[in-house]
Chain A
Amino acid sequence: MNVLLDNIDLYARGFLGTIELFVVSAIGSLILGALLAAMRVSPVPILRAFGTVYVNILRNTPLTLVIFFFAFAYPRLEIADLSYFTRACIGLILYTAAFVCEVIRSGVNTVPVGQAEASRALGFTFTQTLSQVVLPQAVRNVVPPLANIQIALLKNTTIAAGFSVTEAGGIYQALSERGANVFVGLLWVAVGFLILVVPLTLLQRNLDRRWSTAR
């Protein structure tokens, strides 16, 4: 307990960083993933091809490599000067969106064809059919796997520590510099993550229950 209380500032700053990284990346990956899924089911061949290539590259690349790219290779491209935090978010979003895309796409396949037919018959364009009718139902059908991906994202944020972003994965380093017991310190980090996952699990359960009445 002493390790936690003596270094509460470290833990607070670390987990605050984790939460910030997570919230930005979670929202970003859900939006980008939905867009990619829309591309993969669209009738436009170029968009479909782009979506397929994107997913296959990002899903098959180790996250560490993606993050390292943005940490060390990206600055050499001299495109725009971005903070470490922003670059960490971009890496996490690009990587996670590939998984979100595939889950949403599998959800699209669960929506009966008649739903899209009815909306086309009412005069909806392809984009409206997708955004108003198909995607909302697709997402409702894949809440549990989407929650899995977001929990994995929460834990993946620790990779950003190798990136000089202050977050919970970097706490042990500061602890050992202060000469505190690193073993106990790490246990508290684990407890912190367990606590962070609880609201996600509750959210998943809540959404599942609310949306099941619609069917």
Chain B
Amino acid sequence: MTDTPMIRMAAVDKHFGELHVLKDINLEVERGQVVVVLGPSGSGKSTLCRTINRLEPVDSGTIEVDGRALPAEGKALAGLRADVGMVFQSFNLFAHKTVVENVMLAPLKVRRQDKAAAEKNAVRLLERVGIANQKDKYPAQLSGGQQQRVAIARALAMDPKVMLFDEPTSALDPEMVQEVLDVMTGLAKDGMTMLVVTHEMGFARRAAHRVVFMADGEIVEDSTPDDFFTNPSSDRAKDFLGKILTH
């Protein structure tokens, strides 16, 4: 049981019209592992992340989460998504709900928790991401970094088996990136299984167990952060690292 990987993708292919955006993707993420996906824009890394909870359906191939193949759209898929936390580039907090209501909504409606328990848990999680004092504000009244931390708390409130991060810091002002990365690093230390699409090389070095490098819809390298950053084997990765590490 514990041997089944948390995420397994086998021979996954996807097209956007003419564009072959995922080419024969094979990827396994073990329990408790933190995998960072790097790559130039347009390499398909965001799409890869979004196929894991079927926000993007794939053309062919198998995707399993915790040993279960992704079901078709419907109740079963909703049940699986409830166990997979997701954090978006653009936060996507519910604009008509306060911070604490954002965190409570899914536990109330999907998990059918009672209100007192959901609220207690929400406040605990907001404290964990350092934002409990803003709990009655609306998302639009918070800074980007604060909103993203609320979004992380909202995903954690479902007690997910795995967390997907789709470029969580790309829409943030530079001075707010660190507060979000700190929360993510804390999560990684606590043993959460994470797949993180990002451009934050510092985070990849510090918190990742594995680095997956993608280019043109393919996984080009799959190695430890040390190996990847000091000794990349492919030209594409060398070229990519050369561009981002020299400035």
Partner of A124, one of B92, B109, B151, B155: B109
In the bound complex, CA of A128 to CA of B111 (Å):
13
If the complex has contacts A137-B95, A214-B95, A215-B95, are A122 and B88 also in contact, measured as CB distance less than 8 A? no
- Interface contacts (Cβ under 8 Å), in number, total 74
If the complex has contacts A114-B88, A115-B94, A137-B96, are A124 and B110 also in contact, measured as CB distance less than 8 A? yes
Interface residues of B in 68-114 (CB under 8 A from A): 73, 75, 78-86, 88, 90-96, 105-106, 109-110
Do the beta carbons of B81 and A122 come within 8 Å of each other?
yes
Chain B interface residue number, banded: 20 to 34
In the bound complex, CA of A118 to CA of B140 (Å):
16
Partner of A123, one of B73, B88, B110, B140: B110
Distance from B30 Cβ to chain A, minimum over Cβ atoms (Å): 22
- Asked if A56 is at the interface of the complex by the 8 Å CB criterion, the answer is no
Do the beta carbons of B106 and A122 come within 8 Å of each other?
yes
Distance from A213 Cβ to chain B, minimum over Cβ atoms (Å): 6
Distance from B187 Cβ to chain A, minimum over Cβ atoms (Å): 17
If the complex has contacts A114-B88, A214-B138, are A125 and B96 also in contact, measured as CB distance less than 8 A? no
- Asked if B55 is at the interface of the complex by the 8 Å CB criterion, the answer is yes
- How many A residues face the partner with a CB closer than 8 A? 23
In the bound complex, CA of A112 to CA of B82 (Å):
21
- Asked if B154 is at the interface of the complex by the 8 Å CB criterion, the answer is yes
Interface residues of A in 199-215 (CB under 8 A from B): 211, 213-215
In the bound complex, CA of A114 to CA of B75 (Å):
20
Residues of A within 8 A of B95 (CB): 115, 137, 214-215
Do the beta carbons of A117 and B155 come within 8 Å of each other?
no
Shortest Cβ distance from A121 into B: residue:
B86
Do the beta carbons of B93 and A118 come within 8 Å of each other?
yes
Residues of A within 8 A of B7 (CB): none
Do the beta carbons of B92 and A136 come within 8 Å of each other?
no
- Asked if B35 is at the interface of the complex by the 8 Å CB criterion, the answer is no
Do the beta carbons of B82 and A123 come within 8 Å of each other?
yes
Distance from B84 Cβ to chain A, minimum over Cβ atoms (Å): 7
In the bound complex, CA of A118 to CA of B83 (Å):
14
Distance from B106 Cβ to chain A, minimum over Cβ atoms (Å): 4
- Asked if A148 is at the interface of the complex by the 8 Å CB criterion, the answer is no
If the complex has contacts A123-B106, A123-B158, A214-B138, are A115 and B92 also in contact, measured as CB distance less than 8 A? yes
- Asked if B193 is at the interface of the complex by the 8 Å CB criterion, the answer is no
Distance from A139 Cβ to chain B, minimum over Cβ atoms (Å): 9
In the bound complex, CA of A117 to CA of B81 (Å):
11
Q: Hey, which bits of chain B sit against chain A, CB under 8 A?
A: 53, 55, 73, 75, 78-86, 88, 90-96, 105-106, 109-110, 138, 140, 151, 154-155, 158
Among all A-B residue pairs, the 8 with the closest Cβ atoms: A123-B82, A118-B92, A114-B92, A122-B106, A121-B86, A123-B110, A123-B81, A123-B78
